[in-house]
Amino acid sequence: MLVDKRGSRTRILQFIHSYLQRHHRPPTVREIQHGCGFRSPRAVSYQLERLEAIGSISRQKNSRGILLRKPLEEGFPIPFFPAIPAGPPAPMQEPEVDSVRLTPEFLGISDRSACFAVRVRGSSMVGAGILDGDLALIEKRPPREGQIVAALIDGECTLKRLILDPAHGFILRSENPAFADLLPARDLAIQGVLIAVLRKVT
């Protein structure tokens, strides 16, 4: 799964906040790199430059000179561990526990006022991991080809992948071979782009 730049910056801010609470000093670039899973210090430095440009942090000329300038968005923190094997079981380790703060920004929502939720009904998107009963978070923003969107096609609503077909223009495609592509007879209106899927596991 790809993480956009806004998600990376939110992750960095949450790590800095958590590190300050635990150690009473700011983290270094390399500590942020390892704590947030970046491949290189340069990738962290780039995101720190962007955070400084938008006023979220300020930096001084020392290795721990990162200061938060804006409070984090309200939410609730939960413990965060770097990984859990989903293949063969691995020996239990005791990593240093971090935390993540669940906020709209953490989920990838850039504009709260443009976001809405809808309950998924049906099995047409199972190939994308979207199941009947899931809660889909949608943000009203211009879509890109290939994204999953909430759409009105000829006055009826649906959740499908937006595809540009050379012969027909934009069509809606399911992620289940039992469902055919949807071609608008009159009109196609995109209501928003899928941002996240929430599922309660019982």
Active site residues: 124, 160
b/e per residue, 20-46, with b = 16+ CB within 10 A? eeeeeebbbbebbbebbebeeeeebee
What torsion, rounded to 10 degrees, do the Cα atoms 139, 118, 76, 30 define? -40
- The CA-CA-CA angle for residues 194, 196, 200, to 5°, reads 130
Alpha-carbon distance of 100 to 110, in angstroms, equals: 18
